[in-house]
Every structure is written in structure tokens, then in C-alpha cells.
Amino acid sequence: MNIENIEAFVYIVHFNSFNKAAEALYVSQPSISARIQSLERELSVRLFEREGRHFTLTEKGKQFLPYAQNILKTYKAGRQQLQVAEKQSDELRIGCTLSGANYILPEVLPVFKRKHRHIRIKLLTAPSETILEKVLAKELDVGLTRSMSHPDVESEQLYEDPIRLFVHRSHPFARKISLSMEEVGREPIVFFECGSLDWNRIHRLFQTLDVPPRIEMQIDNLETAKKLVVGGMGISFLPELSVRKEIREGVLLPLEMPQLSGISLRTHLLSLKGQGTELGQLFGEVIRGMDLTAGRPQASPG
DNA sequence: AGAGAAGACCATCAACGCGA
DNA sequence: TCGCGTTGATGGTCTTCTCT
């Protein structure tokens, strides 16, 4: 049995043309004709009825078609499986949220690459839900997401990133020793919203106020929110990891607010329960061994 | 509408190249 | 050497276009 002859047969039926089948299979048209003749010889039946420039499937051809399609499908699935296995042997597929991709992976990946030079990295940036789906579908080896729960997935908390109130160094709040929610509520706020439960807790902090807070801008992108604060457009509640550079440079200052204590973004490492890949385990070992809180800034009272 | 030309499509053959 | 592929040429048949 020659799989290429069967492939030609299926392609001809699909395109209803010898020429188009030849084009699709990157062979010449005479070669396609020869393959069909060879297949017809092998099966001792006529698959096509040639009528001048046209052709039709014979009854035998119609009978054989679903079997040919199955053979081809099975063959392709098998080949793909081998390719995936081959790929998995040296490619680590990581799914990561945007903030993780911006602030965690740039620190982790160089360390991982130094330890495992031969392993190539493939990164997918997506929302946590998408990453969970892809881990379940075995399209990703590991995921870095916010807390996700699924019976088939192992979710291990890696890092807790406190959310704090940040202001520009020239802002009057920068000289304050302590702040009340009323004072915060009167200031223009650039509100970064990522939809996690912890952000709802910040919303609830304002519910005690008589007047609603001045949320001038609601932003779903961390970098944009940060840059607006740097540009003096307002104050913002931001995860600490995202502003480390600005704090080091003295551009942004974190403010002490006891009300924010315990509010944080948690990064979890997701992998398939009991079926984690070898590369995923290697990645887990590296990221667990790193201190992602190194360089954490101290809150400034002014 | 009908005839003829042009184009499209498939089959076949010859000559040749390549790899097992 | 053999099998399978290619290109190029040629022929048969059918469709589409153009002209009268």
C-alpha cells in the first residue's frame, strides 16, 4: 500500500481536479495521473471514469473513498503525534498572563536558559482562563496565572505581589505620613482593573465613603496605568512588581495604607495533575528556586 | 443561433535525474 | 538496475468566447 497514492485519490476527489490536487501536493499532474493508475492497478478496480476532460467517481471509487479518507486521517494523526513528541523533547511551552510576561518571565527565563541551554522556549500570553484551557488540552507545559482551580490541574502559589497605592514623587501625597480613604477618594485615580477578586476588595474600600471615588480613568493595561501615573495623571493602585524600576529611580512612591494590607495579586504555577511534562517540571524547579521578591521596595511615608 | 478559435484539463510518451 | 519523479511535447475532448 502506498500512502501517497491514497493521498492523491483523496485530494483529487476533494478538489475535483487532477491539476489542483497536483498543485496541492507539490507534484506534477502526470505524477498524479500515474499515482491513480498505480492505485487502480493495486486495487484491481477503476476509481475514476474518465470522460474526455471530465471524470467522475465510479461506484467502487465511492465505496473506497471513506476508507481512503480514514487511512489518510489516521496516518496524519500518527505523524503529528510523532512530531509533537519530538517537539516536546526540547521545547518548553509556557502560558502566562500579560503581567507575568512583563514582570516575572524576564527574570526567570534567563536563569532557566543558563541552566538548560538546549531547551527552546515558546511563550503564549493570554488571560488565565485561556491558559488553564490550554494546559488541560496539553498545548502548554506550564502556566503562570492568577489563582485557578480545576480538578485535573495542579495549582501552586509561587509569588504574592502586594497591591499598593503609588503616586508620582511630585504629588502632595508623597510628603504625607498617613492617608485616609477619604483623602484618596478625593484625588483623581487611574484605576487599573484586571478583574481578579483582590481588585474587588479595593472597590469595596471605597464603599464606606459618602462620595464615590474620582476614578478618572479605568485602564485594563498595567503598563498604561503606570505610565499615566508617571505622567502625573493621577494616583493608582498597582502591583508592586510592576513598578520596581520606577521606585528604584525615585519616580514613583508607594504609600503606607493599612487598609491595603493583605490585598495582593497571586501568581500560580499551573500544570496537569499527574501528567506534567518533564520540561514543565524543570521550569517549576527553576522558578521555585528564585526569589522573585528580591528588591521589594519599602513603603515610604514621605 | 451556429461555426470556429482559443483555452482548459487529463492522458500518454520520451528523455532524463536521483536515490535506494 | 529499478522505481519514481520531473519536464516537455502531443493528442483528445470539452467549455467558453468571439464573430458572423
Note the pLDDT tens digit of each residue in A182-216: 788 888 888 887 655 456 667 777 766 666 778 88
- The nucleotides of chain C lying under 7 Å from a protein CB are 4-9, 12-14
Position A33 pLDDT exceeds 60 = yes
- CA A55 / C1′ C13 distance in Å: 12
Top-tier CATH class for A160-264: alpha beta
Domain limits, chain A: 3-83, 91-159+267-301, 160-264
Protein fold of A3-83: Arc Repressor Mutant, subunit A (1.10.10)
A39 touches strand B (CB under 7 A): no
A91-159+267-301 architecture in CATH?
A: 3-Layer(aba) Sandwich (3.40)
* Minimum mean pLDDT range among A130-134, A156-160, A163-167, A175-179: A175-179
CB of A78 under 7 A from strand C? no
Half-sphere exposure of A158 (CA within 13 A, CB side): 27
Residue A27 Cβ under 7 A from any strand C atom: yes
Strand B contacted by A36 CB (< 7 A): yes
Q: Do domains A91-159+267-301 and A160-264 have the same CATH topology?
A: yes
Chain B: bases < 7 Å from a protein Cβ: 7-14
Residue nearest to nucleotide B12 (CA to C1'): A30
**How far does the CA of A30 sit from the C1' of B2, in Å?**
36
Alpha helices in chain A (DSSP H): 3-15, 18-24, 29-43, 59-88, 98-103, 105-115, 128-136, 181-186, 197-206, 222-230, 244-248, 278-288
Res. A300: pLDDT tops 60: no
A33 touches strand B (CB under 7 A): yes
Instruction: Specify the 3-state DSSP secondary structure of A55.
Output: strand
- DSSP string across A14-50: HHT-HHHHHHHTTS-HHHHHHHHHHHHHHHTS--EEE
| Protein-to-nucleotide distance from the CA of A12 to the C1' of C1, whole angstroms | 33
Q: Is any atom of nucleic acid chain B found less than 7 Å from the CB of residue A192?
A: no
A202 touches strand B (CB under 7 A): no
pLDDT per position as a tens digit, A44-96 = 677 777 655 567 777 777 788 888 888 777 776 666 665 555 555 678 899 99
Give the alpha-carbon dihedral of A153, A92, A109, A144, to 10 degrees: -20
d(CA A140, CA A137): 8
A56 Cβ within 7 A of any nucleic strand B atom:
no
Of A265, A263, A282, A245, the C-alpha closest to A94 is A282
Q: Which nt has its C1' nearest the CA of A37? A: B11
CA of A244 to C1' of C15 (A): 73
Task: Report pLDDT for A242.
Answer: 84
Q: Is the CB of A18 less than 7 A from some atom of nucleic acid strand B?
A: yes
Place of cell 465511492: A62
Query: Is A37's CB less than 7 Å from nucleic acid strand B?
Result: yes
In the predicted model, is pLDDT for residue A115 greater than 80? yes
